[in-house]
């Protein structure tokens, strides 16, 4: 196993190698605890922001889709109504052309 030249350097207080895991993160130091606390607060804040944004986006999307579906159904219903009105008026015109004499003659109908 090869060691780096920096691993031979030791700290004056503890005598441990400079790059030893215990010297990189001193878990009891105030600096490490504040850094990790701030990191946790930042991650929780970002996660909360993403959650709220996705919830709002979902609600807005449902509202827009509902309005779009209502608009589509209204247009189709108006077309059906217009078609039925046209057919009813044509039927009324044909019915007005039928005389009582024609009603008795089934062959002419």
Region of 18 on the Ramachandran plot (φ > 0 left; ψ -120 to 50 alpha; else beta): alpha
More confident residue, 7 or 93: 93
Q: Which of 4, 30, 32, 36 is nearest to 17 (CA)?
A: 4
Reported as a single tens digit per residue, the pLDDT across 65-98 is 999 999 999 999 999 999 999 999 999 999 888 8
- Percent of the chain topping pLDDT 70: 76
Q: What is the mean pLDDT of the segment spanning 49-58?
A: 98
pLDDT averaged over every residue in the chain: 85
CB 109 within 8 Å of CB 102: yes
> Can you tell me the distance from the alpha carbon of 51 to that of 54, in angstroms, rounded to the nearest whole number?
5
Q: What is the pTM of this model?
A: 0.53
């Amino acid at each position: 196993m090869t060691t780096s030249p920096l691993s031979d350097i030791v700290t004056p207080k503890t005598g441990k190698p400079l790059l030893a895991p215990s010297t990189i993160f001193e878990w009891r130091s105030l600096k490490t605890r504040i850094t990790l606390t701030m990191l946790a607060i930042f991650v929780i804040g970002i996660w909360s922001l993403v959650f709220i944004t996705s919830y709002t986006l979902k609600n807005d999307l449902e509202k827009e889709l509902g309005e779009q579906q209502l608009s589509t159904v209204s247009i189709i219903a108006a077309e059906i109504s217009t078609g039925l009105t046209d057919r009813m008026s044509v039927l009324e015109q044909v019915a007005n052309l039928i005389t009582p004499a024609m009603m008795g003659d089934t062959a002419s109908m």
